[in-house]
Structure 1
Amino acid sequence: MSRQARRPSRSARNGGGPPRRRSLRGGALAAVMVASLGATATGTAQARTYALKAADTGARITKTTKLSARQVDVTIDSPSLGKSVKTRILLPANWSAGATTTWPVLYAYHGGQDDYTSWTRNTDIEAWAAQYNVIVVMPEASNGSYADWFNYGKGGTPKWETFHTTEVRQLMERNYRAGALRAAIGNSSGAQGAFSYAARHRGMFKHVASLSGLLSMRSPGIPALLMFTNAGNGQDPFAIWGIPWVDDANWKSYDPAAQAEKLRGTKLFFSSGTTGKPGPGDPNVAPWDIGLLSEIAIGANNIEFRKTLDRLGVPYTASIYKDGRHNWPAWTREAKSVWPALMASISARRL
Structure 2
Amino acid sequence: MSLRSPLAVVAALVVSIVVPAPPAVAVVADNGATVVKQTRLDDRTYDLTINSPAIGGNVPVRLLTPPGWSPTATRTWPVLFLLQGCGDDYTSWTRETDVEQLSASSDVLIAMPDGGRAGWYSDWWNGGRGGTPGWETFHMTELVQLLERGYRAGTSRAIAGLSAGGTGAFKYAAKRPGYFKAAASYSGILSTQFVGVPQYVGATVLREGMSADALWGDDDFQASVWRANNPKELASGLRGTSLYMSYGNGFTGPLDPGFDYDANERIVGNTSPDFVLRMRLLNIPITVNAYGDGTHTWPYWQRELRRSWPQLMTALGVPG
The two structures have a TM-score, normalised by structure 2, of 0.92
Secondary structure of residue in 1 paired with 2:63: strand
| Residue identity matched to 2:218 | I
How far has the Cα of 1:349 moved from its partner?
A: 2.4
How far has the Cα of 1:35 moved from its partner?
A: 12
Secondary structure of residue in 2 paired with 1:254: coil
1:252 aligns with 2:222: no
1:305 aligns with 2:279: no
Could you say which residue in structure 2 is the equivalent of 1:220? 195
Could you say which residue in structure 1 is the equivalent of 2:5? none
What does residue range 226-237 of structure 1 map to in structure 2 within 5 Å?
226-237=201-212
Given that 1:64 and 1:72 are in contact with CA atoms closer than 8 Å, whether structure 2 keeps it comes out as yes
Can you give the 5+ residue segments of structure 2 that lack an aligned partner in the other structure? 1-12
Could you say which residue in structure 2 is the equivalent of 1:102? 76
Could you say which residue in structure 2 is the equivalent of 1:128? 102
Could you say which residue in structure 2 is the equivalent of 1:335? 305
Cα 1:37–1:234 shift into 2, 3 Å? farther
How far has the Cα of 1:286 moved from its partner?
A: 4.0
How far has the Cα of 1:172 moved from its partner?
A: 0.8
Given that 2:156 and 2:181 are in contact with CA atoms closer than 8 Å, whether structure 1 keeps it comes out as yes
Could you say which residue in structure 1 is the equivalent of 2:90? 116
What does residue range 283-322 of structure 1 map to in structure 2 within 5 Å?
283-287=257-261, 292-322=262-292
Secondary structure of residue in 2 paired with 1:319: strand
- State the alpha-carbon separation in 2 of the partners of residues 119 and 237 from structure 1: 26
How far has the Cα of 1:39 moved from its partner?
A: 7.0
Aligned with 1:80 (options 47, 54, 62): 54
| Residue identity matched to 2:105 | Q
- State the alpha-carbon separation in 2 of the partners of residues 36 and 100 from structure 1: 21
What does residue range 37-76 of structure 1 map to in structure 2 within 5 Å?
40=19, 50-76=24-50
Could you say which residue in structure 2 is the equivalent of 1:30? none
Given that 2:159 and 2:183 are in contact with CA atoms closer than 8 Å, whether structure 1 keeps it comes out as yes
Given that 2:156 and 2:180 are in contact with CA atoms closer than 8 Å, whether structure 1 keeps it comes out as yes
Give the length in aligned residue pairs: 307
- State the alpha-carbon separation in 2 of the partners of residues 268 and 37 from structure 1: 39
1:137 aligns with 2:135: no
Cα 1:251–1:294 shift into 2, 3 Å? same
- State the alpha-carbon separation in 2 of the partners of residues 160 and 262 from structure 1: 20
- State the alpha-carbon separation in 1 of the partners of residues 239 and 260 from structure 2: 40
- State the alpha-carbon separation in 1 of the partners of residues 81 and 16 from structure 2: 21
1:184 aligns with 2:159: yes
- State the alpha-carbon separation in 2 of the partners of residues 110 and 185 from structure 1: 9
How far has the Cα of 1:284 moved from its partner?
A: 0.5
Identity of aligned residues (%): 42
Secondary structure of residue in 2 paired with 1:318: strand
How far has the Cα of 1:219 moved from its partner?
A: 1.1
1:170 aligns with 2:145: yes
| Residue identity matched to 1:318 | V
- State the alpha-carbon separation in 1 of the partners of residues 224 and 153 from structure 2: 34
- State the alpha-carbon separation in 2 of the partners of residues 155 and 38 from structure 1: 46
Secondary structure of residue in 1 paired with 2:292: coil
Given that 1:37 and 1:97 are in contact with CA atoms closer than 8 Å, whether structure 2 keeps it comes out as no
How far has the Cα of 1:243 moved from its partner?
A: 1.1
CA RMSD between the two structures: 1.9
- State the alpha-carbon separation in 1 of the partners of residues 73 and 83 from structure 2: 27
Could you say which residue in structure 1 is the equivalent of 2:316? 346
Given that 1:282 and 1:325 are in contact with CA atoms closer than 8 Å, whether structure 2 keeps it comes out as yes
- State the alpha-carbon separation in 2 of the partners of residues 58 and 342 from structure 1: 32
| Residue identity matched to 1:345 | A
The two structures have a TM-score, normalised by structure 1, of 0.84
Could you say which residue in structure 1 is the equivalent of 2:129? 154
- State the alpha-carbon separation in 2 of the partners of residues 235 and 73 from structure 1: 27
Given that 2:86 and 2:204 are in contact with CA atoms closer than 8 Å, whether structure 1 keeps it comes out as no
Given that 1:146 and 1:193 are in contact with CA atoms closer than 8 Å, whether structure 2 keeps it comes out as yes
Cα 1:37–1:54 shift into 2, 3 Å? farther
How far has the Cα of 1:281 moved from its partner?
A: 2.5
Cα 1:49–1:35 shift into 2, 3 Å? farther
Given that 2:251 and 2:260 are in contact with CA atoms closer than 8 Å, whether structure 1 keeps it comes out as no
- State the alpha-carbon separation in 2 of the partners of residues 109 and 38 from structure 1: 31
Could you say which residue in structure 2 is the equivalent of 1:27? none
Cα 1:243–1:38 shift into 2, 3 Å? farther
Could you say which residue in structure 2 is the equivalent of 1:279? 253
Can you give the 5+ residue segments of structure 1 that lack an aligned partner in the other structure? 1-33
Given that 2:23 and 2:71 are in contact with CA atoms closer than 8 Å, whether structure 1 keeps it comes out as no
How far has the Cα of 1:49 moved from its partner?
A: 6.5
